[in-house]
Amino acid sequence: LVQKQKSDSTNLYEMAAVVKKIEDDNKERLKIINKLGTAGKGIYVLFDYKRNVDFFAYELLLEKAYSQWPENPSVIFDIAEQYRQDSQKEKAIDFYEKYVNLLNKENILDEIQTEKLKNTYLRLATLNADIKRKVIASAWYEKFFQISQDSKEKTRVSFEMGVFFATHIGDLKKASNYLIYWLERNSKDWNPSLNENTGLEELEAISFFHLSRLDKQNRKSEAERSKLNLAYNQWKKIDAELLEAEKLSVDLKSQKQKIKKDLLVTTEDEALSKYRLVDLKIEDAEARLRVLKTKLDKVPVLKIVYRLAVLAEGSHDFEKAKGYYQTVIELGGETEIQAAL
C-alpha cells in the first residue's frame, strides 16, 4: 500500500509539472513588449477572460500528490514555492522547513539537492525577515552562507546579510564579516587588486558606513574616520555623475528646441530623424538621472558627514568640522540643521 501511494504521488507530481508548463506557456503567449516611452518600457501581460481562466489545476495536483505521500521531497518543495508565490508566507515557511528536515535525514546530497537546500535556506531567511522574525531569519542566512560556494549569488547575498545584521540584529561584528566579503569582490578602494570598479558606489558607501560603526563601537577613531571618508567619497562620485547627467539632459533639451524651430520651416526627413534621435537620447538621459538619484538616496550621507564633523571637532580640527557641519545644513532637513547649528 505504501509503495502504491508513493507511486501515485510521483505520477501526480509528474502530471502537475506538465500542467504547470501548459499554464506558463499560456501566460507567455499573452505577453506583449511595449517599446513606447509614454506608458513605460517593459513586458506586459494581456488578460483574456475567455482564455486565461485559472482553475489552479497545478496547485490541486500538488495537494493530491502530497496527500498520497506526505514525505515526497519534490512535492513539498514545489508546494512551498507555490505558497511563496501566492504570498502565503507562513505556510511557505512550514513547507520549506519540512523540506529541510527531509534532506537533513539524507547521508549524502547530490548536486541538485544541495542547490535546492541552499535556495531553501535563503527563502527561509527572507520569508522570516518579511514577517519580522529577525533572529530566526539571521540563523537561516548563516546556514545559506555556510553551505554556499563562492559565486555571484553568494556575493550579492553577503551584502544583504551585512546590512541585515547591522540594522536589524545589531551585531556589527558579524555584519562586518559579510560586508568585507562583499567589498573584497566589489570595491577597488578596499581591494586594489580588482581589475575595475563595479559601479556599485552606493553599496560601497553603505558598507563602509556600517564598518565605521564597528570601529566607533571599538573606539578606533582613526579607522572609523578612514572608513567614513571612503563612504563619503563614494557618495561624492555619484553626486558628480548626477551633475554631469543633469547638464547632459539640459543640453539635449536645448538641442531639441533648436531642431523643433528648424522643423517650422522644413519637413525634411533628416530633420525629423534628428528630432526623433534627440528625443530618445533625452529619454535615456532622464532614466539615467532617476537611477543616480535613487543611488544617492540610498546612502546615509547625513549620518556620515555629521559623524565626520564630530570626529574633526574631537581632534580640534575646527575648520574641517565647520565645513562638514555646513554640508549637513545644505543637505539636511530641519532636525539635521538644528543639530549642526
Q: What is the pLDDT of residue 235?
A: 94
Least confident of 80-84, 229-233, 243-247: 80-84
Q: Please compute the mean of the pLDDT values over residues 257-278 and round it to a whole number.
A: 75
What's phi and psi for 216, nearest 5 deg? -65, -45
What are the pLDDT digits (tens) for 3-14? Answer: 776 776 777 777
Q: What share of the chain is helix, strand, coil (3-state, %, to 5)?
A: 75, 0, 20
Burial of 120 (0-12, 13-18, 19+ CB in 10 A): buried
Mean pLDDT of the chain: 84
Amino acid at 177: N
What are the pLDDT digits (tens) for 22-48? Answer: 666 665 555 544 444 444 455 444 444
Q: pLDDT at residue 57 above 80?
A: no
Q: pLDDT at residue 300 above 50?
A: yes
Say how far apart CA 16 and CA 58 lie, in whole Å.
Answer: 5
Q: Please compute the mean of the pLDDT values over residues 289-293 and round it to a whole number.
A: 93
Q: What is the pLDDT of residue 82?
A: 87
Q: Please compute the mean of the pLDDT values over residues 232-261 and round it to a whole number.
A: 90
Within a 10 A sphere around the Cβ of 26, how many other Cβ atoms? 13
- pTM higher than 0.85, yes or no? no
Q: pLDDT at residue 319 above 70?
A: yes
Query: 340 is written with which cell numbers?
Result: 549642526
Q: What is the pLDDT of residue 55?
A: 47
Cα separation of the two ends of the chain: 80
Say how far apart CA 78 and CA 71 lie, in whole Å.
Answer: 13
% of the chain with per-residue pLDDT over 90: 48
